[in-house]
Structure 1
Amino acid sequence: MTPKPRLTGEPIMRILCKKTDNLVGFLYQWNNGDLQPAWLDDALADVRYEPISDAA
């Protein structure tokens, strides 16, 4: 973590289950550079990340 406060964040990646390809969350990048997953339900270990721009 950086000492600069988190003020704004935007989703930069979709988090998908490797087994089912279901959307399970989003990866956010904050204004201070921190990355944080936001899970739709419980956190999973077997996931892959897909850039938001690829999903459109």
Structure 2
Amino acid sequence: MGRHQRHDQFDTFGKGDRKKREQARAIKRVRDRDTREIVGYLYEWNTGQLNVMWTGDVRTNVVYE
């Protein structure tokens, strides 16, 4: 299983909203900026929160497609 980005880094809801995360769907590929290799996927939860699931180590030099 891949590593997940901390949810608060992509949290699109305010602190008062407490809807339970139940389902997520992949909405974008995360690619290494230089090699264009897929290094993860961006998921959107039913709450509106966004998280990255990495296929390996967390990367910093990426693009979302």
- TM-score class, shorter-chain normalisation, is 0.7 to 0.9
Where does residue 27 of structure 1 map in the other structure?
A: 42
Q: CA shift at 1:3, angstroms?
A: 1.0
Name the count of aligned residue pairs: 50
**Identity across the alignment (%):** 36
The answer as to 2:54 corresponding to 1:43 is no
Unpaired segments ≥5 residues, structure 2 = 1-10, 12-16
Q: Which ranges of 4 or more aligned residues in structure 1 deviate by more than 6 Å?
A: none
Map of 2:25 onto structure 1: 10
Aligned residue identity for 1:11: A
Cα RMSD after superposing both structures: 0.9
Higher strand share: 1
The answer for unaligned runs of 5 or more in structure 1 is 51-56
Measured in 1, the distance between the counterparts of 2:49 and 2:27 equals 12
Superposition TM-score, scaled by structure 2 size: 0.74
TM-score by length of 1: 0.85
What is the distance in 2 between the residues matched to 1:27 and 1:3? 21
Q: Determine the C-alpha separation between the residues in 1 that align with 2:46 and 2:24.
A: 6
